[in-house]
Structure 1
């Protein structure tokens, strides 16, 4: 895995520990497991980040950071993964989650007319909240599980490739 590159891109843990807005976490930021790049921490960070990106509230990164501290996952990676969702990707993702929930619940999705207004948020969202929450929940769980096991699989494949290359180098030596 590209550990050296990631370590260069990650923020310095010592500077983050001194940040005034992160003081409420106390000694939790001093835990080495929040900054390690091993298979378990990275897989847990992917699960947390991909789960938190589906939560349709502002400050998803704060939720991801708190979950990473609680589950002892790689903190910077969990926070960065939340930014898969942004103002461009969020509307199609949420609409797709709504369509999934509507298909499962049997809610007619043809009557869905979104207009970006406060009136729609107050009245229109009430009509679709059940399939919307179901779709978001399913996508969050599916993304989280797929990210967790996907990272374990990719990490294992990478290790097998390195072992195979090492054996090949040893067999070529005289």
Structure 2
């Protein structure tokens, strides 16, 4: 995994404690566990960020940072992983989550109009919030699990490969 790259980036932020906008977080920046680059910290942060990115709530990045603080995982990786679901993909992902939740609840999906307006969204919110949140929780859980186990396996494979190469170099 990109251990050297992540350490280099986090070192820059930890050394930047004197900036006025970081003064309230000075104590936090001195905690090494929030910037640790190890398998547990990075894979946990990826899972948290991926989970948060799939939820239909505002403020993905601050929410991911708060969850990372509570879980004691890498803050930067969690904040970056919260952008897994970008503003360009939000609508299709949320529509998929709504359809998934509607199917699981046995509800017929609402018709999607040709043009979506704020008034239409407010009127439909009472009808679509249950299937949307159910589908979002299921999709977020599955996405976080896949990313957690996938990144964990990739980290282990990368570490084992690096160890084999180092042992081969030492032998001759």
Fold equivalence (TM over 0.5): yes
| Contact persistence 1:52–1:64 (CA under 8 A) | yes
| Contact persistence 1:28–1:69 (CA under 8 A) | no
1 CA distance for matches of 2:23 and 2:98? 35
Deviation (angstroms), 1:40: 0.5
TM-score of the superposed pair, with normalisation by structure 1: 0.86
Q: Deviations over 1:110-133 (max 9, x none)?
A: x33144222212211211211111
Q: Structure 1: where are the runs of 5+ without partners?
A: none
Equivalent residue, structure 1, for 2:129:
129
| Contact persistence 1:52–1:60 (CA under 8 A) | yes
TM-score of the superposed pair, with normalisation by structure 2: 0.87
Root-mean-square deviation (CA), in Å?
2.1
Residues matched between the structures, number: 170
Is 1:152 the counterpart of 2:139? The answer is: no
Q: 1:35 to 1:106 in 2, by over 3 A?
A: same
- For the residue of structure 1 that corresponds to 2:16, the secondary structure is helix
Deviation (angstroms), 1:53: 0.6
- For the residue of structure 2 that corresponds to 1:12, the secondary structure is helix
2 CA distance for matches of 1:141 and 1:119? 31
Runs of 4+ displaced beyond 6 Å: none
Q: Structure 2: where are the runs of 5+ without partners?
A: none
Is 1:53 the counterpart of 2:81? The answer is: no
| Contact persistence 1:64–1:82 (CA under 8 A) | yes
